[in-house]
Amino acid sequence: MGRWLFNIYRLGLKELRSLKTDPVLLLLIVYMFSFAIYAVATGAKVEVVNASVAYVDLDQSDLSGRIVDAILPPEFEDPQRISAAEVDRVMDDGEYVFVLSFPPNFEADVIAERVPELQLNVDATAMVQAGNGSVFLQQIIADEITKFESQDDTSSTLPIDLIVSAQFNPNMKSTWFSSVMQIINNVTILAVMLTGAALIREREHGTIEHLLVMPVSPSEIMLAKIWANGLAIIIAAILSLWLVIQGFLSVPIAGSIMLFIAGTVLYLLSVAGLGILLATFTTSMPQFGLLVMPVLVIMNLLSGSTTPMESIPEWLQTMMQASPSTHFVSFSQAILYRGAGMETVWPDMVVMAGLSAVFFAISLMRFRQTMASGQ
């Protein structure tokens, strides 16, 4: 056992030295856990921000003016007035996401309780802004009409006193969600890519033949690649949590980082093994990249990191339980967002440990076949 552990340790040091001399991979790690996270968190927002609005006012009344004046930044740009003849053209050209049309006698019909029709045209190709923005505009219109009818500008009357308490993300900022999820996704991406690239690099440099004649076992080689590349990923993830997430983006981390690291170690055993497994089916980096891309896309998109698992068809939810990324996302969200402890996340850790054992065994069997054939 001592000799086995020593071989794993020494081979791992070799992997770290090899990684140190590869500026492309080092730059990739730095980029994935710094600028890539910051850019996505600050640039790809799901909130309604600066949505373009135009309006057609055939009524030109006090009520229509009040509604237009209530459409304010930062959710919306200043509404632009257009003619009725321009509606089709501006919607076809994509100049505005929303076009609001006030019919003639709109205010008079409201006062007379004749239920006038107010048309809101929405460019639904801008899906997030279209869905959330239309809800905001409907609320603005309803509030202004209620205030107009009651002649009370202070508040709109409701039969209940609704108190909203947003847990874990009180300002409902997408930055808080997307930044942390980028770290979780990047752990998966780099674990697969680095371990697979390490095996491909052995072949391209001709050092795989050296390993074949050395008194080391395939399990020692695999574990060395996993712990060396996994260590680089964990260090990068910790620094990213401290410097990028908590530092530059000011996103609070609710739970224990040490518990997150423990779960990440379990997870890396499976996804790093998956990287080696995929590498055994390829002979070059381009082939490996083409094989890895669809696997990573499916793992990330269907793991619950982009959309809730409840939004996925039930049969697909069941299939994705076999993916360690699904349980890692659930585990990470519970700790980093909600401050969960071991008593909450231990089921996910047990499943990740089991899946890691399965993935490692399959990868080791395939790797032994590859080593035996000398490929």
Mean pLDDT taken over the chain: 88
The answer, yes or no, to whether residue 3 has pLDDT greater than 70, is yes
In a shared domain, residues 198 and 275: yes
Predicted confidence (pLDDT) per residue in 123-170, tens digit: 988 777 788 899 999 999 998 998 888 776 665 555 667 777 778 888
Q: Tell me, what's the pLDDT at 375?
A: 53
| Least confident stretch, 92-101, 153-162, 308-317, 364-373 | 153-162
Q: Is residue 348 part of a domain?
A: yes
**Token pair recorded at residue 370:** 């590859």
Whole-number Å distance between alpha carbons of 307 and 293: 19
- Count CB neighbours of 145 within 10 A: 17
Q: Apex CA 322: angle with CA 320 and CA 325, to 5°?
A: 70
Predicted confidence (pLDDT) per residue in 207-242, tens digit: 766 666 677 788 888 899 899 999 999 999 999 999
- Cα distances from 287 to residues 196, 235, 273, 359, 367, in angstroms, run 11, 29, 18, 21, 17
Predicted confidence (pLDDT) per residue in 73-131, tens digit: 888 999 999 999 999 999 999 899 999 999 999 999 999 988 898 999 999 887 777 88
Q: Tell me, what's the pLDDT at 89?
A: 93
- Cα distances from 34 to residues 19, 29, 300, in angstroms, run 19, 9, 19
In a shared domain, residues 221 and 337: yes
- Cα distances from 322 to residues 278, 302, 316, 317, 354, in angstroms, run 17, 12, 10, 9, 10
- Residue 301 banded pLDDT, cuts 50, 70, 90: confident
In a shared domain, residues 227 and 265: yes
Contact of 342 with 255, CB cutoff 8 Å:
no
pTM of the shown model = 0.80
Q: Is residue 218 part of a domain?
A: yes
**Token pair recorded at residue 248:** 């530059």
Q: Which residue has the higher pLDDT, 162 or 181?
A: 181
Contact of 232 with 29, CB cutoff 8 Å:
yes
The domain that holds 136 is classified in CATH as 3.40.1710.10
In this structure, the strands spanning 53-57 and 119-122 are unpaired
φ, ψ of residue 155 to 5 degrees: the values are -160, 160
Q: Which domain holds residue 361?
A: 2-44+173-373
In a shared domain, residues 245 and 278: yes
In a shared domain, residues 117 and 245: no
Contact of 200 with 282, CB cutoff 8 Å:
yes
**Arithmetic mean of pLDDT, 257-262:** 94
Whole-number Å distance between alpha carbons of 26 and 8: 22
Whole-number Å distance between alpha carbons of 72 and 143: 14
Whole-number Å distance between alpha carbons of 52 and 290: 39
Q: Where are the alpha helices (DSSP H) in 167-313?
A: 174-205, 208-213, 218-239, 257-279, 285-301
Who's near 168: CB < 8 A, 6+ residues apart? 254, 337, 338
In a shared domain, residues 250 and 103: no
Whole-number Å distance between alpha carbons of 134 and 140: 10
In a shared domain, residues 30 and 135: no
Q: List strand residue ranges (DSSP E) for the chain, in order.
A: 53-57, 80-81, 98-102, 119-122
In a shared domain, residues 236 and 344: yes
- In which region does residue 115 sit, left (phi positive, over 0), alpha (psi from -120 to 50) or beta (all else)? left
Q: Is residue 164 part of a domain?
A: no
Who's near 349: CB < 8 A, 6+ residues apart? 262, 263, 266, 331
In a shared domain, residues 141 and 252: no
Whole-number Å distance between alpha carbons of 26 and 328: 24
In a shared domain, residues 259 and 307: yes
In a shared domain, residues 270 and 132: no
In a shared domain, residues 32 and 74: no
Neighbour order of strands in the sheet with 80-81: 80-81, 53-57, 98-102, 119-122
**Arithmetic mean of pLDDT, 182-186:** 93
Q: Is residue 161 part of a domain?
A: no
SS3 label, residue 75: coil
Query: Total domain count for the chain?
Result: 2
Whole-number Å distance between alpha carbons of 203 and 186: 25
In this structure, the strands spanning 80-81 and 53-57 are parallel
